[in-house]
Structure 1
Amino acid sequence: MSLLGRDEDEAAARTPTRIQAANRELILEAALPVFSAHGFKGATLDEIARAASMSKPNLLYYFRRKQDIYAAVLERTLEAWLAPLEALDPAGDPVAELTRYIRAKMRLSARKPEASRLFANEILHGAPVVGGFLKTRLKTLVEEKAAVLSRWMENGKLARVDPVHLVFMIWAMTQHYADFEVQVRAILGPRADARDFAEEAAEAVIAIVLGGVRPR
């Protein structure tokens, strides 16, 4: 069973060879910008095959349907995004832990803006693939980490704010630069192309968030 609860067929469930695993990764890397640019309905298997530099029959050897590729791309995105939140350490220093989490999310958005936009598009269309995941695994994880934030607040290590809304705000701020890249570039112009812009943005988000939650 996959992260999104998809039942994998017998062939996919077998341990792939090194070459098969590499080709699956190649397909998913190629499919990400295609789905991000055109959405699930607009993307085609032919376009994904071209982007992966392989034939359509070869592509279908690894994934039976476009839906399977789309779900696998989303699953890989979610696995990467969950890891930094899962790593939030209850025994760590709250400011250090939140700083690390924000930096990790900003880094993911900067390196893979297509992944952020793909996920946003999935949500805007009612989350047909990830809806179950949002209500189960993600909900459970957010509740678990909100409890950690609440304990830090109760112990006077963070200012008292709603912990779930704090998580929402971090998500919104860290993904803004990917999801609204066109708007950011329209406003900032060449500044957005500076080599240190991603770090500048991360520092700004960290300062704003921590300024709101540092103990008063």
Structure 2
Amino acid sequence: MSGLKPRTRIQKRNSETILDAALDVFSRNGFRGATLDQIAKEAGLSKPNLLYYFPSKVSMHRALIDALMANWLDPLREMDADGDPVEEIVAYVLRKLDMAREFPRESRLFANEIVQGAPNIMDKIEGELKDLVNEKAAVIAHWVETGHVRAVDPYHLIFSIWATTQHYADFDAQIRGIISPVGDSHFDDARTFLETMYRRMLAL
């Protein structure tokens, strides 16, 4: 049996508070621009208290990335090879847009890491992300070959879905500055636009 004691309720709460603060700081400043002092201030805890729970900035960032990847890949995992091809791809688009709406900080955390060359998550990109994309690209390629959707490059289709959905989280300030939406109403408009665009692109 492990000699580790289960964490107390306070310890769990403090860990969650720290990670939530770290998510705010990392999503704004990126890994390189974030500091332990910034995270401690955001969390309302002392720096030594912060380091009691997480020994380094790297360990906090890694905990966030691990949690992010666990959830971030679920929408693509749900694409069913036995489903209606157009409906499955459009459903994936809409799931990704929903994630941009519901988890904007996580999207910006990922985007900041990629822009900086993915120094802390390249193993994830070259591992589970690449494997999953290869798997689903093969499914899309089969749908193309069997005449169920128009001829498209599976990889560039997936990349375009990422670009047209995560844009609404990663470039939120730009969008709001240009169209001045009421609340999140632009996500509803984007949903209608993207669904129409991808259906027209894919349907025979």
1:15-30 correspondence runs (5 A) = 16-17=6-7, 19=9, 20-30=11-21
Partner of 1:97 in structure 2? 88
- 1:146–1:163 Cα contact (<8 Å) kept: yes
Following superposition of structure 1 onto structure 2, how do residues 141-180 of structure 1 map, counting pairs within 5 Å? 141-180=132-171
After superposition, residues 136-215 of structure 1 pair within 5 angstroms as: 136-189=127-180, 192-215=181-204
- Could you tell me the percent identity over the aligned residues? 44
Partner of 2:74: 83
Contact 1:152 1:158 in 2 (8 A): yes
Cα drift, residue 132 of structure 1? 1.8
Q: Which moved more, 1:165-174 or 1:116-125?
A: 116-125
Whether 2:23 is the aligned partner of 1:32: answer: yes
Q: Per-residue deviation at 1:151?
A: 1.5
RMSD: 2.1
Alignment-mate amino acid for residue 60 of structure 2: I
Q: Which amino acid in structure 1 is aligned with residue 139 of structure 2? A: V
- Tell me the equivalent position of 1:71: 62
Q: TM-score, normalised by structure 1?
A: 0.85
TM-aligned CA distance change 1:116 to 1:195, over 3 Å: closer
5+ residue gaps, structure 2? none
* Contact kept in structure 1, 2:30 and 2:109, CA below 8 Å: yes
Shift of 1:72: 1.5
Contact 1:117 1:179 in 2 (8 A): yes
